[in-house]
């Protein structure tokens, strides 16, 4: 139904164009031409393929008109460019040929890598790379392990809530987790290393505090403002220029190892391809 409407609009435009002395030639081509610039034609099906889904008839008409005008402008510029830049034509052709070759080659290489690359990386391999390259993993910003909760002020159970929050007992943490729906936001997993900036973005009041005061191991912060009550416990801190912990840097190490494997695999593929061509006399040097 949608395409029928669109074709109706395109046929209408075609009729208008015909009335303006544009007489399309159908001959052996069943496609419906809707515009022509010199010897190049734009067909109805070309526009239908790019037409947005669920578009109204009025918007369809506007889209079609704009598309035709844009297409015509591009063709006119291309015609003038080819006419006036004859001296540059050979260099342009070379660029197009080089780009086409690079596109094919790189796409084929990526396909080979996808089928042949070993993507399994063990914890031992990560640990080995980490230990051998520790100095490359110095932090450029502070990291923290922390937990926090944000809740309403004037809670009748505030004292008990603070006691549960400061506790290190598993059962107390479970009790807090059971109350999660009462909190505006929270994070009770203090085993994950987080950038200080990310922690600060969760609690705007931290931006008004001295960073060195906040970044102290086992620091407890209680803050009330117009947005509610905040409870924060800093479990651990790693400051700028310290070595990043292995569990924080693991995703980066995996990417480095995979990239190294990829380069080694591509080199092997190139060598094998060349040797195979020489062996089968597809490649000869004179």
The model's pLDDT over 93-116, given as tens digits with 9 standing for 90+, comes to 888 899 999 999 999 999 999 999
Domain boundaries, the chain: 2-87, 102-137+245-286, 139-238
Question: Residue 26's pLDDT is what?
Answer: 43
Question: Residue 34's pLDDT is what?
Answer: 85
* pLDDT band, residue 193 (cuts 50/70/90): very high
* pLDDT band, residue 270 (cuts 50/70/90): very high
Report the Cα–Cα distance between both ends of the chain, in Å, rounded. Answer: 65
* pLDDT band, residue 3 (cuts 50/70/90): very low
User: CA–CA separation, 118 vs 198, rounded Å?
Assistant: 34
Backbone angles phi and psi of 242, in degrees to 5 = -80, 165
Instruction: Assess whether pLDDT exceeds 80 at residue 15.
Output: no
Task: Quote the tokens at residue 232.
Answer: 């924060």
- Residue keyed to tokens 């419906």: 32
Instruction: Assess whether pLDDT exceeds 70 at residue 1.
Output: no
67-87, pLDDT tens digit by residue? 999 999 999 998 898 888 887
Question: Residue 269's pLDDT is what?
Answer: 92
pTM, two decimals, is 0.67
Angstrom distances, CA of residue 221 to CA of 42, 177, 239: 68, 20, 19
Cβ pair 68, 34 in contact under 8 A: yes
Residue 62: CB atoms within 10 Å: 13
User: CA–CA separation, 179 vs 150, rounded Å?
Assistant: 12
Instruction: Assess whether pLDDT exceeds 50 at residue 19.
Output: no
DSSP H or E stretch at residue 195: strand 194-195
Residues 35-59: what's their mean pLDDT?
Answer: 84
CATH class in words for 139-238 = alpha beta
- Residue keyed to tokens 């342009």: 92
Cβ pair 114, 265 in contact under 8 A: no
Instruction: Assess whether pLDDT exceeds 50 at residue 21.
Output: no
Question: Measuring CA to CA, which residue among 252, 243, 52, 256 is closest to residue 131?
Answer: 243
Cβ pair 83, 100 in contact under 8 A: no
* pLDDT band, residue 145 (cuts 50/70/90): very high
Instruction: Say which residue, 14 or 221, is predicted with more confidence.
Output: 221
Question: Residue 29's pLDDT is what?
Answer: 55
Backbone angles phi and psi of 86, in degrees to 5 = -65, -35
* pLDDT band, residue 23 (cuts 50/70/90): very low
| Interior angle at CA 215, CA 211 and CA 221, nearest 5 | 95
Write a three-state SS string for 25-60.
CCCCCCCCEEEEECCEEEEHHHHHHHCCCCCCHHHH
Per mean pLDDT, which range of 3-7, 15-19, 131-135, 214-218 is the poorest?
15-19
Residues 259-269: what's their mean pLDDT?
Answer: 95
Residues 253-264: what's their mean pLDDT?
Answer: 96
Residue 258: CB atoms within 10 Å: 15
Burial of 34 from C-beta contacts in 10 A (0-12 / 13-18 / 19+): buried
* pLDDT band, residue 10 (cuts 50/70/90): low
Instruction: Assess whether pLDDT exceeds 70 at residue 24.
Output: no
């Amino acid at each position: 139904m949608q395409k029928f409407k669109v074709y109706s609009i395109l046929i209408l435009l075609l009729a208008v164009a015909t009335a303006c002395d544009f007489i399309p030639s159908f001959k052996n081509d069943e496609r419906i031409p809707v515009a022509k610039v010199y010897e190049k034609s734009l067909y109805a099906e070309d526009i239908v393929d790019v037409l947005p889904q669920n578009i109204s008839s009025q918007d369809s008409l506007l889209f079609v008109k704009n598309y035709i005008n844009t297409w015509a402008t591009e063709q006119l510029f291309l015609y003038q460019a080819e006419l006036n830049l004859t001296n540059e034509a050979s260099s342009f052709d070379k660029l197009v040929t080089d780009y086409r070759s690079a596109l094919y080659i790189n796409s084929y290489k990526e396909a080979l890598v996808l089928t042949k690359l070993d993507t399994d990386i063990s914890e031992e391999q990560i640990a080995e790379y980490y230990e051998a390259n520790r100095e490359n993993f110095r932090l450029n910003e502070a990291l923290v392990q922390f937990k926090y909760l944000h809740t309403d002020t004037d809670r009748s159970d505030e004292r008990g809530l603070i006691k549960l929050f400061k506790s290190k007992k598993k059962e107390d943490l479970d009790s807090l987790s059971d109350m999660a729906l009462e909190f505006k936001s929270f994070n009770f997993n203090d085993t994950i290393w987080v950038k200080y900036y990310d922690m600060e973005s969760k609690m705007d009041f931290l931006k008004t505090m001295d960073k060195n005061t906040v970044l102290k191991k086992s620091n407890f912060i209680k803050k009330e403002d117009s947005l509610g009550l905040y409870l924060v416990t800093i479990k651990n801190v790693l400051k700028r220029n310290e070595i990043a912990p292995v569990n924080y840097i693991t995703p980066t190490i995996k990417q480095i190892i995979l990239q190294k494997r990829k380069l080694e695999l591509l080199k092997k593929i190139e060598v094998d391809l060349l040797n195979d061509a020489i062996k089968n006399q597809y490649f000869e040097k004179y």
